[in-house]
Chains A and B, each alone.
Chain A
Amino acid sequence: MLVVVVGLGGRGMVAEFFDGSAVQFWSTVLVSIVIQALPFLVLGVLISGAIAALVPPGWLARALPRQDALAVPAAGLAGAALPGCECASVPIAARLRANGVSPAAAFAFMLAAPAINPVVLVSTAVAFPGRPEMVLARFLASLLTSITVGLIWSRVGREAWMTRARSRVVEGDSRWAAFTETARQDFLQAGGWLVVGAMAAATLQVAVPRSVVQQLAGHQLLSALCLGLLAVVLAICSEADAFVAASLRQFSLSARLVFLVVGPAVDIKLVAMQTGVFGRRFAARFAPLTFAVAVICALLVGRWLL
C-alpha cells in the first residue's frame, strides 16, 4: 500500500523515464503478456488446487497405465481435454507430479495440453482457411513431440534435477482449505516467474525487430530453425500463434508448422515458469531437448502432410 502511495507521488518522474519509445514498447509488451496469461494461469491453479483437494495421492498414478510406454501417450492425449494455453499447464503438471504421476507422463501432458486442445485447433483452422491439413499436421506433430519428449525423459530424466518440485505438499485441515491454499501458493509461485518470462520476451522483442527474421525466408532448413527460434522469442499464447504463423507468408508451410509446434512447447516465458516451478537444472535440460524434438517432429510431419 505504502509503495503505491509513494509511487503515485513520483508518477511524474517515473513517467518521464518511461517516455522513451523503446521503453514504452517494452512496458506495453510486458503488461500485455501478463494480462493475457492471467486468466489461463488462474484456471491452471484452480485445477491444481482441485486435484490437491479432491484426488487422493497416488490415485491418478493408478488410473494411468503402470508402464511409461503406455502412460505417456495416454497423458499426452488427455491434454486435449484442457481448453487453455501453456500458462495453465505448468502448475497442473507440477500438481500431477506431486500426486504421484510419473514425471514423463506429467510432462507429456504439459507439452500436449496447450497445443492440441479444441480451442487451439479451432483458432488454427480459422487462421488457415481452406487448409485443414494444417490443423491435422499441428495436432499430430505436437502430440508426437509430447510423447517423444516424455519417453526420452523416462529414460534419461533424473529426479534430482527437479530441485523445487518435491516440496509441493500443502497440508490443510479441510478440503476447502487445501484447495484455496494450494491454488493461492501455486499462483504466487508461477505468477512471479511468469513476470520474469514476460520481461525476457519484451526485452527480446525490443532487441530483435521482427523484420530481421524475414530475411531468412528462402532457405528451407534455416528458415525452419529461424521460425522455431522466433516462437521461443515471441512467447505468444498458443491460442493466438496460428494468426501470426498465417501472416508469415514468405515462409513455407513446413517452416510455419515448426513455429506452431515449438511455441506451445517451449518459449522464453515457459522456460522461466519451469525454472521457477521445477528448478533451474531441470529447465536447462528440458528446454533444449523439447526444442530439438519439436523442430524434428514438425519437419517430419510437415514433409509428410504439407
Chain B
Amino acid sequence: MVLLVGAVALWLGLSQAALAYVRPGLRPLLAASGLVLLLLGLVAVLWRPAGATHGHAHGEQGFRSAWLLMLPVLVLLLVTPPALGSYAASRQPPGTNNGSTGEFPPLPEPVDGAVPLLVSEFVARAQEDQKRSLAGQRVRLVGFVIPAQGGGRDYQLARFVLACCAADAEAYTVQIRGDATPRQADQWLLVEGRWLPQPVPKQPGSFTKPPVLLTDAVTTISPPANRYENTVFPY
C-alpha cells in the first residue's frame, strides 16, 4: 500500500498530470514524498523479520482504514478526473478581485495587436482600476466556455484561479459579446476584443455580474498544459 501510494505520488510529481489538481510548486514536494514512501515501503518489505504480523502493536482499526487509500489511487488511475470546468464554475458566484489595493501597474505592451492578460487580471482591472487602464485597449484572453443558461448565443469565458489545490479554486468569468458562432461548454478559446466600460462602484467586491468584453476575433485552441491561473505563492 505504501509502495503503491509512493509510486503514484512520484509519478504525479514528475508528470504534468498533477497540474489538474494542485499548484505547480507542489510537484517537487510530491515527488519527494513519493520517494520517501517508496523507501519506507521497501524497508518494510525487505527487512521485516519472518513471521512478524502486520501492525500487532497498532490495533486492527488503523490498518482497515488504510485500504481507503486505494480509493483516490483507483479514481486517479481509472477515471483520471479532469481539471475543473464549466460545471464547477457555474456553481460559484463570479470571482471578484483578490485583495487588490485598487492600484495597478501599467498594462504590458501589446503583442500582435492585443495585450495578453490573465482572465483574473482582466476582471480585477475592469472592476477596480480607478485609472481605467483597460479603456480602449485591445486585449487577448484565454479560457473555457460557460454557455448561457437560457441557451442564447452569448457565453462566458472563465478560468479558475488556484491557490493550493482544486478545492480552493475560484472561477473568474468574463461575459463575451459579439461572437456569432455557437460554442460548446468547456471549449477552450482565445478571445480578442475590447472591454465595455462600466462604472467602478465605491463598495469593493459588490459586483454581481462579470465584466463584458466586446470581441472581434475568437480562435478555438487546445487546452493549455496548466488549465488554472495561479496566485502568487510564497514558495
A interface residue numbers (CB < 8 A to B): 3-4, 7-8, 10-11, 14-15, 18, 21-22, 24-25, 27-36, 38-39, 41-43, 46, 119, 122-123, 126-131, 164, 167-171, 177, 180-181, 183-185, 187-189, 191-193, 195-196, 198-199, 201-202, 205, 209-211, 214, 234-237, 239-241, 243-244, 246-247, 249-250, 276
Across the A-B interface, give the 5 residue pairs with the lowest CB-CB distance, nearest first: A249-B205, A240-B164, A192-B65, A36-B165, A246-B99
A246 touching B98 in the complex, CB below 8 Å, given contacts A15-B79, A36-B21, A38-B33:
yes
Q: Which residues of A contact B100 (CB under 8 A)?
A: 129
Alpha-carbon distance A165/B47, docked complex (angstroms): 26
Complex CA gap A210/B218 in Å reads 31
Please report the C-alpha to C-alpha distance between residue A126 and residue B163 in the assembled complex, in whole angstroms.
11
Does B117 sit within 8 A of A, measured CB to CB? no
Contacts of A189 in B (CB 8 A): 58, 62-63, 65-66
A24 touches B57 (CB 8 A): no
- Residues facing A in B17-45 (CB within 8 A) are 18, 20-22, 26, 29-30, 32-33, 36-37, 39-41, 43-44
Within 8 A of A (CB), among B207-235: 231-235
Do A198 and B72 touch (CB < 8 A)?
yes
How many B residues touch the partner, as a band?
Answer: 35 or more
Q: Are A25 and B168 in contact (CB under 8 A)?
A: no
Q: List 5 A-B contacts (CB under 8 A).
A: A201-B167, A240-B165, A241-B168, A249-B205, A276-B61
- Inter-chain contact B165/A247, CB cutoff 8 Å: no
Closest CB-CB distance, A117 to chain B, in whole Å? 12
| Chain B residues with CB under 8 A of A42 | 33, 36-37
Q: How far is the CB of A80 from chain B (nearest CB, A)?
A: 16
Give complex CA distance A116, B55 in Å: 34
State which residues 107-142 of B face A: CB under 8 Å: none
Q: Write the chain B residue with the least CB distance to A238.
A: B164
Q: Are B81 and A31 in contact (CB under 8 A)?
A: yes
Q: Given A7-B77, A24-B81, A28-B166, does the pair A187, B98 have CB atoms closer than 8 Å?
A: no
Q: Are A30 and B72 in contact (CB under 8 A)?
A: yes
Are the CB atoms of B167 and A187 closer together than 8 Å? no
Contacts of A250 in B (CB 8 A): 205-206
Known: A123-B233, A185-B55, A198-B72. A249 touches B78 (CB 8 A): no
| A27 contact from B37, B64, B79, Cβ within 8 A | B79
Cβ contacts under 8 Å, B14 to chain A = none
Q: How far is the CA of A191 from the CA of B72 in the complex (A)?
A: 11
- CB-based nearest B residue for A130: B101
Using CB atoms, name the residue of chain A closest to B5: A191
Asked if B196 is at the interface (CB within 8 A of a chain A CB), the reply is: no
In the complex the two chains form, is B58's CB within 8 Å of A170's CB?
yes
| Complex alpha-carbon distance, A199 and B26, angstroms | 21
Complex contacts, A193 vs chain B, CB 8 Å: 65, 68
